């Protein structure tokens, strides 16, 4: 059976609080009334027993009966063997002595006669039998008037019957409004959040400086929106940069073809093909880089990390260096990573060094206690200190015109950094101490 659960938190909280208060009040009322009646009736029984004892003693000794205790609600009857009342405390006169069917009714009639409200009378302690000095057997019996006690208990019960529901309803009402007040900021946040869509990512939730849970939630959500907005902004920039980069070679190819076709007889088609192939390569590399970056950005894609012999990857990629002389110094080291990504990282750094070096590239792989250290030095122009952070930005080139010809679009180092970081490492660039050009240093956690 499905559980019925009100959708509104306000209703739910109010119901729970009201039920809890109602239940607590009911239990408390029962306990109160119970202990009250126990105490009152217990006290009455005690005093009745004491009075019976006193009267019984007086009867036994043939002494006059003790005087009436004005505070007592108990009447003591002394009966003979036939059950006839022969004396009583308080004295009720002659008629009390005669014509009794039962003492209970006698006492009640007495009460009514004296103008007191009729009350239920009863024997609260066992009767005692004694014998007078003359040897007559007498029964001493206490008849207690419970009227006052019952009345006070009734009064308490009646007050509780009114007060408990009223209190419960009041607490429920208070909760209903208090919860509404507490939830109002949440509703405001919800409404604003509903209004913030992808296109209005600059808007923020209403923040109150209350420091309470809602305030904290709102500022956390706002910080999350900040991150989402800046992520979306970066993505837009990336897409526009990417399409700009794609348009340039496409436009160049088109112009080349149009010009050549306009002079189709005199055109050097072999040359045209070579240049088109260059542009084609650039496009291919660019789209490949974009794809890799996009994949790395997608955290959801589970990438297969495994133990990798980094020295083997580096040794393999060194063979692709065409122009410069490579001076390797490789220590075997195993890291945990994704092979194609690590290959890409090494290849991009070696590519760049090969491209910028005048003649020599130093490649070193070493280890310290916790890291594998991969450095590539070259004797080229190096990276100016003020650009050492920016070379890792997407589409950044130290000198746009210089690199455009060589095919770079400024994604190589961005990829290197992205890969290093996704492997828990980092990459930095400094000046090469030995060769004077650039030194790229990659630090990866080793196994």
Q: Tell me how far, at minimum, the Cβ of 407 lies from ligand ADP, in Å.
A: 7
**Is residue 293 within the footprint of ligand ADP (CB under 6 A)?**
no
Length of the chain: 447
Site size toward ligand ADP, by CB under 6 A: 23
Q: Tell me how far, at minimum, the Cβ of 295 lies from ligand ADP, in Å.
A: 17
Q: Tell me how far, at minimum, the Cβ of 416 lies from ligand ADP, in Å.
A: 7
**Is residue 337 within the footprint of ligand ADP (CB under 6 A)?**
no
User: Could you check whether the bond before residue 90 is cis, i.e. omega within 30 degrees of 0?
Assistant: yes
Helix, strand, coil % in the chain, rounded to nearest 5: 55, 15, 30
**Is residue 378 within the footprint of ligand ADP (CB under 6 A)?**
yes
Q: Tell me how far apart the alpha carbons of residues 168 and 25 are, in angstroms, rounded to a whole number.
A: 8
Instruction: Kindly tell me which residue out of 75, 313, 353, 420 binds ligand ADP, with binding defined by CB under 6 A.
Output: 353
**Is residue 13 within the footprint of ligand ADP (CB under 6 A)?**
no
Q: Which region, judged by CB under 6 A, interacts with ligand ADP, from 5-13, 91-99, 237-245, 347-355?
A: 347-355
Beta strands in 354-437 (DSSP E): 360-367, 371-378, 426-431
**Is residue 380 within the footprint of ligand ADP (CB under 6 A)?**
yes
Q: Tell me how far, at minimum, the Cβ of 395 lies from ligand ADP, in Å.
A: 8
Q: Which region, judged by CB under 6 A, interacts with ligand ADP, from 38-46, 68-76, 297-305, 374-382?
A: 374-382
Q: Is 302 exposed, middle or buried (0-12, 13-18, 19+ CB in 10 A)?
A: exposed
Residue identified by tokens 């499905």 is: 2
**Is residue 356 within the footprint of ligand ADP (CB under 6 A)?**
yes
Q: What is the per-residue binding string for ligand ADP in 393-422, x denoting contact by CB under 6 A?
A: ---xxx----x----xxxxxxx--------
Which 3 state secondary structure label does DSSP give 398? coil
Q: Tell me how far, at minimum, the Cβ of 329 lies from ligand ADP, in Å.
A: 18
Q: Tell me how far apart the alpha carbons of residues 326 and 250 are, in angstroms, rounded to a whole number.
A: 35
Q: Tell me how far, at minimum, the Cβ of 362 lies from ligand ADP, in Å.
A: 12
Q: Tell me how far, at minimum, the Cβ of 391 lies from ligand ADP, in Å.
A: 4
Q: What is the per-residue binding string for ligand ADP in 190-219, x denoting contact by CB under 6 A?
A: ------------------------------
Which 3 state secondary structure label does DSSP give 125? coil
By Cβ distance, which residue is nearest to ligand ADP? 408
Q: Tell me how far apart the alpha carbons of residues 428 and 375 are, in angstroms, rounded to a whole number.
A: 10
Quick one: 313 or 409, whose CB is closer to ligand ADP?
A: 409
Q: Which of residues 21-80 bind ligand ADP (CB under 6 A)?
A: none
- Considering only CA atoms, which of 430, 290, 415, 396 is closest in space to residue 342? 415
Q: Tell me how far apart the alpha carbons of residues 73 and 48 are, in angstroms, rounded to a whole number.
A: 9
DSSP letters for 187-230: HHHHHHHHH--GGGTT------TT-SHHHHHHHHHHHHHHHHHH
In the complex, the residues that contact ligand ADP under the rule CB under 6 A are 348, 352-353, 356, 378, 380-383, 391, 396-398, 403, 408-414, 437-438
């Amino acid at each position: 059976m499905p559980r019925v659960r009100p959708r509104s938190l306000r209703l739910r909280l109010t119901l729970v609080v009201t039920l809890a208060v109602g239940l607590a009040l009911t239990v408390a009322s029962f306990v109160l009334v119970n202990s009250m009646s126990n105490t009152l009736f217990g006290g009455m029984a005690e005093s009745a027993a004491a009075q019976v004892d006193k009267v019984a003693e007086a009867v036994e000794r043939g002494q006059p009966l003790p005087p009436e205790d004005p505070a007592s609600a108990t009447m003591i009857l002394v009966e003979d063997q036939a059950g006839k009342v022969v004396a009583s405390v308080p004295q009720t006169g002659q008629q009390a002595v005669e014509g009794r069917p039962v003492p209970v009714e006698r006492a009640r009639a007495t009460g009514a006669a004296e103008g007191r409200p009729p009350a239920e009378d009863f024997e609260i302690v066992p009767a005692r039998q004694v014998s007078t000095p003359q040897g007559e057997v007498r029964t001493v019996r206490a008849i207690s008037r419970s009227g006052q006690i019952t009345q006070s208990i009734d009064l308490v019960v009646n007050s509780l019957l009114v007060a408990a529901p009223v209190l419960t309803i009041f607490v429920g009402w208070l909760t209903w409004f208090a919860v509404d007040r507490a939830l109002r900021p949440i509703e405001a946040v919800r409404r604003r959040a509903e209004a913030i869509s992808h296109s209005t990512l600059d808007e923020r939730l209403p923040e109150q400086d209350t420091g309470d849970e809602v305030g904290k939630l709102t500022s956390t959500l706002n910080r999350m929106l900040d991150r989402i907005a800046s992520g979306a902004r970066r993505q837009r920039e990336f897409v526009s940069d990417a399409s700009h980069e794609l348009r340039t070679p496409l436009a160049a190819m088109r112009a080349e073809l149009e010009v050549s076709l306009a002079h189709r007889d005199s055109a050097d088609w072999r040359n045209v093909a070579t240049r088109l192939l260059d542009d084609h390569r650039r496009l291919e590399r660019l789209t490949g880089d974009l794809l890799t970056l996009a994949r790395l950005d997608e955290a959801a894609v589970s990438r297969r990390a495994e133990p990798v012999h980094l020295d083997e990857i580096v040794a393999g990629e060194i063979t692709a260096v065409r122009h410069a002389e490579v001076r390797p110094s490789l220590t075997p080291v195993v890291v945990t990573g994704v092979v194609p990504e690590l290959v890409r990282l090494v290849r991009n750094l070696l590519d760049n060094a090969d491209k910028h070096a005048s003649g020599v590239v130093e490649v070193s792989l070493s280890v310290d206690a916790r890291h594998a250290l991969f450095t590539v030095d070259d004797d080229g122009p190096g990276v100016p200190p003020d650009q050492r952070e920016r070379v890792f930005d997407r589409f950044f080139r130290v000198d746009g015109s210089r690199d455009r010809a060589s095919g770079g679009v400024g994604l190589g180092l961005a990829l290197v950094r992205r890969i290093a970081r996704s492997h828990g490492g980092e990459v930095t660039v400094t000046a090469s101490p030995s060769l004077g050009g650039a030194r790229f240093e990659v630090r990866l956690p080793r196994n």
